[in-house]
Each structure stands twice: as structure tokens, then as C-alpha cells.
Structure 1
Amino acid sequence: MADPSSYRPKPGQIPDSPGVYRFRDEHGRVIYVGKAKSLRQRLSSYFQDLAGLHPRTRTMVTTAASVEWTVVSTEVEALQLEYSWIKEYDPRFNVKYRDDKSYPSLAVTLGEEFPRVQVMRGPKKKGVRYFGPYAHAWAIRETVDLMLRVFPVRTCSAGVFKRSHQIGRPCLLGYIGKCSAPCVGRVTPEEHRELAEEFCDFMAGRTGAYIRRLERQMHDAAEEMEYEKAARLRDDIEALKRAMEKNAVVLADATDADLIAVAEDELEAAVQIFHVRGGRVRGQRGWVTDKVEAVDTAGLVEHALQQLYGEEKGDAVPKEVLVPALPEPVEPVQQWLTERRGAAVSLRIPQRGDKKDLMGTVQRNAQQALALHKTRRASDLTTRSRALEEIAEALGLDSAPLRIECFDISHLQGQDVVASMVVFEDGLARKSEYRRFQIKSFEGQDDVRSMHEVVGRRFRRYLQEKQKAGEWSEESAVEDADGESRLDDDGRPKRFAYPPQLVVVDGGQPQVAAARRALDELGVDDVAVCGLAKRLEEVWLPGEDDPVVLPRTSEGLYLLQRVRDEAHRFAISYQRSKRSKTMKAGPLDAVPGLGETRRKALLKHFGSVKKLRAATVEELCAAPGIGRRTAETIAAALATAPAPAPAVNTATGEIMDEAEE
């Protein structure tokens, strides 16, 4: 691990001008490429105190052994040079979009004497007209098969074309009317090229005029009683319409735009792109990237634009690019896109109308892609095993934590404080054992006290049920006094009687210390505790002054993050459900003269509506701000109001009262 001060440039060496910089490791390999409006300000930021750097940036600067830079005239030149160097060096610490060359496109080789329609992948070639990319090659072949009836363009390879020309007999497509057979001279090179250009015009979105022309020809043929020709034209029109139906009409016919959406978390990001040409979605593609460098949504968008248009020119760059966040500054990127296209390009965030609605669709696709990627990653047994082993090694555990429980606290400005407990076994969520807690002892924004209470309650129940299980074991009983089974369907103790090997809390040192203190007070010394701080993804251990920083590519860190995020989601959903119940019109709303402030004071004083219903007039008078007349009115209103339906634990399906854990 290198000391950044050992290769830090001397003061005054770095120019205060736009440029591109490269960090190299001890072997001379480029590990990071970046651009800056001011090289001096940007590079100086890397050589500050390591404790103030983002963990990913800290790893990069300690891996590097030298830094160099190149001065350019404008930010546009810096953008272009950065893209070129990223493509050339493939730096390990830059954002890398995976599968960027795996999406097929529909290609027409207009540079050949007899243009060919085919599926193409990889870098684009000169003299070839591209449409797409598409998600699947079979989608292209289905579209082409429908359109060859109307535009019988050559689709065969060079070898098949040459052989048919030699033997003077076309291939099968020539016999069934799906190829004009230029190989045997049925059409001239000029006529075949005209067919290929009409095919391209139709794919480019100029469909309305062509279909109207076919419809006129069909009607003319019918009037002249050429019914076979009219029927063939009718079938041609239907084939073209079926091909058009594969791409939904979403915007005005003249709209050419690319829509880019990003779904991200702390560690990964998914990018989805919809290509709209002639008002129709002509293609879709997506990438998933590890966020190796510290980058926000605008930075991800800028990287996506570089990846998407770095090797494109002309019409391949659309008139309009719609994004969820604009790069900062936006002018150089917009100017770079304009230079790539050769005409003005609008780079903006859609605010209203059909384009914003379509952007919502693209965003949902990005979120689904990220969720699918995480699901596939989590479902791999080898990956899960490696993650558990890495956690055990990083935390110094004797064995892999096969059962992990994570706790999180949620509240709204100190009100309705709740907590969640989620369970992961063998790296997978076990939702039937999720639990929700209401923090009873106090209200307020004190996550440390809340964490101490909830961990203490969970393990107090564990010790109680462990004692009961021991008594039942001695009696060789598997049912309690009510005849209810004390075991789950898989034969394990119910509810809290099954302990974890690792407790994870959402937070840093204070929350970890509170959880450890709760366990120590109960004498539980065989359960490990750690915390995951959300801001820097640092793992904290009890009594340690410095966090454990897991490698960015660690599967163990990925699993801990998933556990933490699931606990956060479960806590938030519970807190919101309680909030929505509180906000609904209740029996106190109808009491004249009782405003929102005194209603909240009553609920805070008694703790719940259930206890409020059971209170006497004298007990109501003891609440702050409540006189006897008001207390009598409240008691009458509560007596006549219907009782609320019982709450249901969504994790277990059990009916629970307000004090249930």
C-alpha cells in the first residue's frame, strides 16, 4: 500500500487548466482516468487527509504509485480524451458497464453492391446502416421475416450468394418470394438497392406514407378486378402492421430521442436506454456496473453517454437525449454530442407529458434490471458461501454466520418510533421470521436507546423461550398446555428461540455499542455484533476505534448491505403503515374544540387509542390541556365510536395487539 504523499506533485507543478489525469500503480498500469475543469483543484482533492476521503477513493490513491496529466484547451476535448483513454487502458477503478457489446442490431450493408440485411454485434462498421440495438436477436429475425414479404432484400451470406450465382439457381427464400434473388439476375443491382433503401426508410420510421401508398395500390387493383394482386397487397400491409406493432407508438412521429434511466444503490447501478426513432421504441439495451469510484447519478449519466456515443457519428446520435440528471457542467457534454452528430443535440430532463411518462417506464426497467441482477447474484450458492466466509474472516468469527439478524430503527421526527428485525439464513432472506417492534419506553430521536431496547427485548425473549424449551425437553413434550405446537414446521423452536451467530445493526459505533451492551446485560456472549454505517459502508465492531473496510469487490460487503437494506425497508414500511393509521380520521376528530395538538398530546399521554378508550373521565382530565367538560365529551365520543379492526403481522399472518413485539 503506497503513501499518497510519496508521489504527490509539488506545489505549483499542477496547472490550473482543463485536462485529463491518470493514476498508475507500481507496475505502471493505469488504474484510474479522470477529467477536470481545473487539474489543480481536482488533483489536490486526492491528496488530503485519507480519513476524509471516500473509501473507494482512499483505496485508489493508496494503490496508485504515480499520477500524470495532459492539458487540453477545452472541457469538450477533455471529455473526448477521457473516453479514449478509458477505452484504451480499461482502468480498474473507473465505472465499467458490462455487456456493452452483447446487444444485437439490425444492420443493412449499404456499402456492398447487393446490400444484405443481417443481425450484427460488436463495433459498428463503415458503410453499414444500423437499427436498434435490440434485447434479443430473435426479435430482429421475427421483424425481418415479416418485412421480407414486402421488401425482399438479400439476407444470405457471401458464400451462399456466390454459390447460387454459380449454379444459376436461387436459394429457398428466392423460391418462396422472400428474396428478390439478385444472385441469378431477377433484379438489377439498382432495383435491389432501391429495395434496401425502402427497407431502411421504413425501419427509420417513415412508415405512414409507404402504407398509404400500398393501400391505394390495393384499392386500385380491386377496382380493376385484379383480386390476386389486391390480396397480395393486403397481406403485405398486414405484415408491415404486425412488424410495426412490435414497437409501441409512444411519441410524435417526428421524435428521435434516446431515453436513459439509472437505478442505483451504494454498490451497483443499472442503466437502461430506450431508442425512440420516428416516435417508436426501436430498441432497448441495458448495463449493470459496480460503482468502483465514488460517483453520483449525474456522473453515471455522463459515463453512459460516453459509452453510448463515444464511437457514434451522424444520425446514430439522436436529436434529443433525455436523462434523469444532467452532468455538471452540462455545456461541454452537450457540445460534445453536437459535434458527434454534426447538428444540435438537446440534452435535458423531461418535465411533463408523454416523454416524462416514457421516462418512468425506462426507470422501472432499470429498477427491475438491478433487482434481477441482485436476485441472480444472491441465488448463486457458491457466491453466498464465499460471502459468508469473507464476513467470518473480516469479523474474526470461528465459523461462517449461517444465521444473521439485522435491526433498524425508524421514526418520523421522533414520533411513532418502531424497529425491524430481518433474518437471513445461508445468505437468503427468511421472511417468515421477520419481526416488528414498537419502541415503548420513550419517544424521540434517540436511535442508540432504541437499539439498546429492541436488541434487549429480542434476546430476553430468546432466553425465556430457551428456558421453556429446556423444561419441555425434560418433559419430552412438543405441545404446550393449549395443545399448540412449540416447533415450526421444520422442527425448530418457534419465534425467538433460535439464536443468530451474527447481529448486524444499521449504524456506526454508538449503535454497535448499545447492541453489545444489551447482550452483555443479559449474559449473551456467544453472538457476534457489528454495524454497517450507510454513508461510507464501513463495518464497525464493538470496542474498536477504527472500522473494518471490506474490499469494494467483496461478496461479504454485498451481503451485509443487502441485509441492512432489507431491514431498513421493513422498518420504513411498518413506520409508514402506523403513520397512515394515525393520519386517518378517528373518533377524536369528531370531538368539537379538540385540535390536532391536543389530540397528539392525548395519544402521547396514554400511548394508544386502546388505552384511551379504557380511560375514565378523571384519567382524561389528568392529560395536559384537557378540562372536565372536554374529557366528558371525549369519553362519550369514544364510547359510541366503533372499535378498530385488529392489526395483522404481515410476516407471520398472526393477529397482534398494539404491544406485540
Structure 2
Amino acid sequence: MKDTKIIKNDILQILSHLPGKSGVYLFKDEEDRIIYVGKAKNLNSRVRSYFKSRKSLSQTNPKAYYFSEKINGIDYIVTDSEVEAFILEINLIKKYRPKFNSSFRDDKSYPFIAITEDDEFPQFFITRNKKIKGARYFGPYTNVSDLKETVEYIGKLFRLRDCKKAKPGKTGNTPCLNYHMKLCSGPCIGKISKDEYRENIRLIIAILSGRNESVVAGLEKQMMAFSHSREFEKALETKNKIDFIKGLNNEQKIYINSERSWDFIGFCLSDSFASANIFMYRNGEFAGFSNFILESFEDLGREEILADFIVKYYENISNMPSKIYIPFPAEGEKSIIEFFMKTKNKKLSIRIPQSGEKKKIMDMVLNNCRLFADKKKFEKQSNHDKTYNDLIELQKKLTLSNIPRRIECYDVSNLRESFAVGAMVVFKDGYPLKNNYRHFKIKTVRGQDDFAMLQEILERRLSYLKKSKISIDESFYQRPDLIIIDGGKGQLASAGEVMEKNGFEKSIDLISIAKKEEIIFGDRYPEGIKLNKDTGSMRLVIRLRDEAHRFALQYHRKIRDKNMVFSFFDSVRGIGEKKKTILYENFNSVDELKNQDIKTLLKLKGINYTDAKNIYDALHK
């Protein structure tokens, strides 16, 4: 690999020595971190395009304009062919995950099945995130309820683990409830070998790849062998697997035969962005569609952008369709076909429909693509631009390392020494991501020590980023760009200690905001700074802080009320722990319970007349 350090006044001389051959280039920043990976038919001309005049670049490629100033080094690798460049680029992006390599965003993503093949005991789950390191994907699937049912049944049938970390186990070396219910084979305690577990994964991959007949034939031989050796329980388990596979074919709960499927890809290129859509046909019938915004830091033509999209979208999908219809030729179609043959042993056909039914479908796809592009352009010109500008303004005013697209804000709430809880709220691109909010019960802190409570919840949250290589839709597995703490200097210092201990002090920005005066504290402004409250960026910070406070207080009150309800039941004759739980699940507070009559209480399963009367009498003394 050739490595060239850039001195700003010596760029032309360096560029003149780049070879005019196909290959892959890597841009690095001042800290020698890889920030972008790209491929090129001609390395010399492609890399030169990033160093046009600043004015020209700002007009033709605003994002390249933004990050070109960060380039401080160039690596490049020459390849023998475009196919090698395709493969190498994808592998390097997977390895380094450069921050500027966001290639496309799915506007309406269908779920996939992911199998984490790199894990010793692979995980098997549904996700909409196609960026999980070391995962193999099947899908997308358009019927979500059928998919969930199928995945749940496969997990039970093959007794797969459902713990989310790379290493199996939820609570140390103690098996979870799933093991005792015979829903998990217990890899965390050595109840199944790595080879046995991986054989089950191999069978699942074969099923999802459409190789059902060979799988059934192998399982039938296995079932007979178990029967002859009088291992009847194992024979029954194998028969259940056979019945499931045959049933999957008959019921078609999820479509798995990629040889009888095809996709239509639409494409539109506007002044500021490109958009694409995929209309999926399975077994000859329309199955669903997805829209995409394509983001690129390169000054490419539509043929090359389309080629890049095809490779990057399908390269992780194991059951990709046999035919892809496109509106115009993609650059290097032969190389794309060869790429999928080399990497997936998949014979792919890429076609441009010229007439008949397929041409009518393509016209419909293109029309929908244009409508989607117009919609996104309107959104961008109206609200999105304002939000993006607020985030950029926040980054500049607070001198943050990252554009704060994903922000997490933390607060703690307690009543003296009782009912201590913490809360995490999440905003993405300026909007609340409520399914990513999380509550914390304080477990290790005794007494009223807000600093220690804050450290506990941050330690628990960051442990997911530190220990796991998986980035799934689960909130804790997503890395924030900025963490905000509700508090002043003391809270900031406490949070900073945890960040440094876990190694995130450089990669994740950290600030705190004090109430009343709305002063922001950070490493670069330890004495605090005050921003104009009327600006969009400051309103966003205040909104996050207030939302975290609301969410923490709501949980605190819930825990407190639950405790009060349980405490009240201690004085009621005949009401034990089980009946307490039944009552609490139906009533949130003593006041709510007080408004019920005996007839209402009798409707609760597990509560008899004597119980209802005792409760009513105790409430109305």
C-alpha cells in the first residue's frame, strides 16, 4: 500500500505521482484515521477531483467540500481489475467503517434476517440495520408479522440463543430462563459444542438460501440413524425440523427461492442528491418496495452511481434475486456480474426492459422515483435544511468533533435516598427517537449521591459500546455523536471520568447544561458559556435536557407509586406477592385503586370475594 502525506501547498506535486490505473484509495485525517474509502477506474483522475478549487467543489459536491479540508494523507492500492477494486473497497469499508462513507439511506426499510457468522456461537435475529459487522443477511421481507413468527419458531426449533452480545450468556455463567424452558441449547454453560451449534446455523442458512430439498434429505438420514440407535428424543427433534421445512415451502410464510425473483431499480439524479427505489417481485407477484437517498462525496455520473448502489445494496444479501432490471446501463455491468459470481457464486442477470409488461413496470418505478425525489427535495428545502443548519451551528459554537446527529441526554431523579432512577433520551437529526429511550434503576449507589448515580448509568450504557462489536437497532448498540448531562461542573467531571475510563473521551463529545442560567460546560469551556436561547441550536439543547428530566421524573413517580401500592397491600390480610403483582398490573396508584368497587376488583383473575372485600375495606376506613 502506497502512503502519501499531504502538505497543503504541495498537493499538485503529490497528485501527479498517482498512477492512472484501477484501484482503491483511502483518505486519512491528521490523526492518521481513515475517513473515506473509494474505488476508481483511474486513481489519478478520481483523487484529483477532490482537490478542485474550493469554489468549484462547493457547487458540484458540497459534502466533498466539507470534508476535503480534513484530508491529510492518502493511501492507495492498485488492482488488476475493476472487480478486484469492488471487492477490496467493500472489505476495507467493513474493516475501517470510515465516517464519510455513508452511501445511501433507506427511506422505508424492510427487515432482514441477520446471522452473525463471525461470532463463535452466531446470533440469529431480525434487523433493519445492514451495517452489522460480520453479519450475513437474508431478505428483505415485506410481511413483518409472518417474518417474526417464522424467526421465533426457527429459534425455538433449533434452540438458538437470543442474548445480544457476541459472547453467549446474559448473567455470567448462569443459564437464563430460555435454557430451562428448552428454548436455548445453553452455549453459555457448555451444553452444546461450537461444532453442533454451527451445524444448526448451517442448516438455517441452507433453508433461507432455498436449498430445502438437500437439507430435508440430510435430516431424514439423520432421523433414521437416531431411530436405529434408539435415540428417540433426538429423532423426534429431527422430524420436527423436517416438518417445519416442508411446511415453510407449502405455506410460503416468507419467500426464500431467489431463483424465481427479480427487482426493478429506478434512479433519479437531481442538483443536490440522487434517489433510487427498488420494487421487489417474488414468485411473479409484487412483494414491496423501498426508497433510498444516495449520498456520495464523489463527482460521479449516473451510470457509476447506479453501479455503486447495486454492489453496495446487494453485497450483504445472501438470497438476492436472479434478475435485476435497470432503467439505463450501469457502468461496468460485466464487472458487477463477475463480482457477485466471485463473492456469492450467484449467476446474476442485469437487464434493461425495452418493451412489453416489463417496460410498463419500469416506467411506473421511474415515475415513483421522481415523485419520491420531488418530495425529498421539498422536505430538504423546507424543514430539513433548517435542522441540519442547527446541528452545524451547534457543532461550531461548541467546537464539537462530530456533527451531533445522534444526541443522548442523561438525568437522574430521586427522593432523598429513595427510588433513585436514571433516564436516557435520544434525538436523531434534531427529532426525538422515542423507541431508543431507556430507563435505569440505580443498583450500586447508596445514599443521595447524584454524581455516583450518573456514573453508574453511564458505565452501564457505555459497556455495550465497549464490549460488543454488533451495531443493531437496539438503542445501546448505537454510538452517539454527543452526550449531554443535565447538571453543572460536578456532573460534567463525573461523566468525563467514565468516558475516559472506557476510552470514549475523544470519539464522543460531552457537555453539560445547568438549569436556570442555561450555562453549558465542556472540556473547552470549563467555566461555562451562554448561548443565545433564541437560536435553533440552543433550543435543541434545552429541549433535550427538559425531555430527559421529564422522562426521568415520570419513571421515578412510577417506581414510587408502585412501592406505595405494594406497601399498602402489606397491611391487607390475604394479599401476598402474587396478588400484589396482579393488582399493580391493573392499577398504577392507591388513589386509582380507591375509585374501584368490589365488583370491579372481582373481575381480576386471581382475586376472590374475600380479597376484594378486604382491599375495599382497607381503602375506605
Would you call these one fold, judging by a TM-score over 0.5? no
**Structure 2 length normalisation: TM-score?**
0.40
- Rg larger for: 1
**Structure 1 length normalisation: TM-score?**
0.38
